[in-house]
Amino acid sequence: MFGPMSRPLFRIVQRHIGLFAALLVFPCGVYLHAQAPIVEEPNYTPTLTFDVATIRPAPPPDANFHVSVSSPPLSSRFEATNLPIKALLQIAYGFDAPVVGAPDWVADTFYNIQARSDEAADARLAKLTNNEVRLEKRNAIRVLLAERLGLKTHLETRNTSVYYLVVDKGGVKMQAVTPPPPPADGEAPPPPPPADVQAHGSQHGLEFVGTNASMRAISGALSSMVEAPVIDKTGLTGPYNYTLQFGREWSERDPDSWPSIFTAVQEQLGLKLEAAHESVPNLVVDHITKPTEN
């Protein structure tokens, strides 16, 4: 189903779509803008649902394969093009837990999705914090998956292949972000600089550029790249700025390719990924059916 250029791009995209980030994938490159992880708020109960939603099969991927995911911050609108349901599951339930038990079509079949609520919902979103807005939108997608696909899941702790992220023997090579100076007497402290992760693709591989990234964000980004949970064992706090360049399908026969992700992490970040096994939560899919055309 995949063209020669689309498959390596999609494998990265599939596990790295930040919640409600704008994402564009082109035949010769990738652009990704990702947000910081959602913070759970035990005392906040989201209620947003979509009033109108369509889920339609997308044409089979080819050399012009592209993915887009869009949801403006103060709007209930959610739109996706060429998105597999597995990616939608990860948007709704997070990227820390591996998805297991799902049929093959969940990862292999692509859909175009359009969903929205009403103007009253948009007005309510405008009064919430950024984190509360993202909790609301996550809830709307979970309800959509349950109602339209009959999704039933549970979390189950399993012994899983993971990677420990540790400091390499040569020391950290990322740039530590200098904290802003303390405010003058009576002045409010300045807001923290925004955290951001961008990715670009080229004929050499993929380039990830992180700005003001916490170690949690860095380990989460690496998890998407190696397609396995990455557990931070560095003892670092951050934030850091970094650039990471690695080959999509690196081999010795391609001298122009950037190094493998494992070599790049050591040489460019001063960190190391060590293979291990650990009991971690897995998102187990108990039931799911293909969405009917509407």
User: What does the DSSP assignment read for 102-141?
Assistant: --THHHH-EEEEEEE--HHHHHHHTTS-HHHHHHHHHHHH
The sign of the dihedral angle between the CA atoms of 78, 84, 89, 95 is negative
Averaged confidence pLDDT in the chain: 80
- pLDDT of 198 over the 80 cut: no
Q: Which helix (H) or strand (E) holds 224?
A: helix 215-226
pLDDT of residue 68: 74
- pLDDT of 149 over the 90 cut: yes
Question: CA-CA distance, 154 to 180, in Å (whole number)?
Answer: 43
Token pair of 192, please? 């923290």
Q: What average pLDDT score do residues 111-136 get?
A: 92
Q: What average pLDDT score do residues 97-115 get?
A: 91
pTM to 2 decimals?
A: 0.68
**Backbone phi and psi for residue 155, each to the nearest 5 degrees, phi listed first:** -90, 135
Structure confidence by residue, pLDDT tens digits, 202-226: 778 888 888 888 888 888 878 877 8
Q: Residue 12 — very low, low, confident or very high, per pLDDT cuts 50/70/90?
A: very low
Q: Which of 19, 9, 103 is nearest to 63 (CA)?
A: 9
- pLDDT of 95 over the 70 cut: no
- pLDDT of 52 over the 50 cut: yes
* DSSP SS3 for 233: coil
Percent of the chain with pLDDT over 90: 41
pLDDT of residue 62: 64
pLDDT of residue 21: 35
Residue type, 94: G
Structure confidence by residue, pLDDT tens digits, 231-281: 999 999 879 999 999 986 545 566 778 899 999 999 999 999 999 999 988
Structure confidence by residue, pLDDT tens digits, 14-45: 444 433 333 333 223 333 444 555 667 888 89
Domain boundaries, the chain: 6-287
pLDDT of residue 22: 31
Q: Which of 167, 133, 160, 158 is nearest to 238 (CA)?
A: 167
In the block, tokens 């850091």 appear at: 240
- For residues 186-202, one letter each, b for 16 or more C-beta atoms within 10 angstroms of the residue's C-beta and e for the rest, the string is eeeeeeeeebbbebebe
Q: Residue 293 — very low, low, confident or very high, per pLDDT cuts 50/70/90?
A: low
* Beta strands across the sheet bearing 29-34: 52-57, 110-116, 78-84, 68-70, 23-26, 29-34, 196-202, 205-213, 240-246, 175-176
pLDDT of residue 74: 81
Q: Which of 79, 81, 60 is nearest to 70 (CA)?
A: 79
pLDDT of residue 117: 95
More confident residue, 29 or 142: 142
Question: CA-CA distance, 261 to 66, in Å (whole number)?
Answer: 23
pLDDT of residue 26: 27
Q: What average pLDDT score do residues 145-155 get?
A: 96
Contact 116, 50 (CB under 8 A): yes
Residue 278: CA count within 13 A, CB half-sphere: 15
- pLDDT of 289 over the 60 cut: yes
pLDDT of residue 34: 46
- pLDDT of 136 over the 80 cut: yes
